[in-house]
C-alpha cells in the first residue's frame, strides 16, 4: 500500500508492506541512520521518534500506522538549541552516553523537558529508564537533566525579555 507522511518537515510518499516495521522503513528506505531496530521490544530506545509530537518506539509500529502523521527523528532536532543545551549539560555533568544510546537518551530528555520543564528526580529517572543502556550512571544523568532544564528556562526567560 502507498502511504503519505511527513518526516522532518518533508512529505514522503512510500509503498510499504503490511508486515514492515516503521523503524525499518525509516532507516532502510529513507536513510535515517540515527534509528536502529535493535531490541524490537521497546527497551533500548534506539528507535525513538516523535510521532505527532509523542515519543514512541518506531520498532513497535507497523509502517502503515505512519499514514497521515508527522514524524520527527533525531536528525530533525539535531541542530536545535534544545539538543545543544542537553549535549552541553551531559558534558558538564560528566554523563556522556556511549554512541549506542546517545541519540536515544537525548530524545528521551527532549521529550521529558517538553512535558516537565522542571522535572524532579523520580520523574527524570523514570524517563531515562526507557533507555536500557547502562553506560552512564543515573545520578549523573539526573544532574544533566537538571542543568539542561535550567539552560532551557534561562533561554526562554531571555527570549521573553528581549
Distance between CA atoms of residues 86 and 88, nearest Å: 5
User: What is the pairing mode between strands 70-72 and 2-7?
Assistant: parallel
Q: Residue 81 and residue 67: Cα distance in Å, rounded?
A: 29
Size of the site for other proteins (CB under 8 A): 31
Task: Check residue 5 for interaction with other proteins (CB under 8 A).
Answer: no
**Shortest CB 84 distance to other proteins, Å:** 23
Q: According to the binding rule CB under 8 A, does residue 38 interact with other proteins?
A: no
> Of residues 14, 30, 60, 125, which one binds other proteins by CB under 8 A?
60
DSSP single-letter state for residue 131: S
Nearer residue to other proteins within complex by CB, 15 or 153: 15
- Is the separation of the CB atoms in 66 and 3 below 8 Å? yes
Tell me, residue by residue from 84 to 113, as one string, x for binding to other proteins by CB under 8 A and - for no binding: ---------------------------x--
- Nearer residue to other proteins within complex by CB, 33 or 114: 114
For 60, counting Cβ atoms within 10 Å of its Cβ (0-12 exposed, 13-18 middle, 19+ buried), the class is: middle
Which cell goes with 133? Answer: 543502556
State the residues that interact with other proteins by CB under 8 A: 1, 17-21, 24, 37, 40-43, 45, 48, 54-57, 59-62, 64-65, 67-68, 111, 126-127, 129-130
Amino acid at each position: 500500500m502507498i502511504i503519505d507522511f511527513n518526516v522532518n518537515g518533508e512529505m514522503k510518499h512510500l509503498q510499504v508492506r503490511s508486515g514492515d516495521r516503521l523503524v525499518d522503513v525509516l532507516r532502510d528506505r529513507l536513510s535515517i541512520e540515527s534509528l536502529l531496530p535493535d531490541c524490537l521490544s521497546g527497551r533500548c530506545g534506539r528507535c525513538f521518534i516523535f510521532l505527532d509530537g509523542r515519543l514512541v518506539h518506531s520498532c513497535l509500529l507497523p509502517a502503515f500506522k505512519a499514514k497521515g502523521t508527522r514524524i520527527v527523528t533525531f536528525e530533525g532536532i539535531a541542530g536545535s538549541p534544545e539538543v545543544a543545551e542537553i549535549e552541553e549539560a551531559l558534558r558538564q555533568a560528566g554523563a556522556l552516553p556511549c554512541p549506542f544510546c546517545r541519540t536515544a537518551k537525548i530524545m528521551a530528555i527532549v521529550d521529558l523537558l517538553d512535558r516537565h520543564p522542571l522535572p524532579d528526580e523520580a520523574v527524570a529517572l523514570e524517563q531515562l529508564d526507557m533507555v536500557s543502556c547502562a553506560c552512564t550512571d543515573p545520578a549523573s544523568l539526573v544532574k544533566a537533566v537538571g542543568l539542561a532544564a535550567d539552560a532551557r528556562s534561562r533561554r526562554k526567560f531571555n527570549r521573553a525579555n528581549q
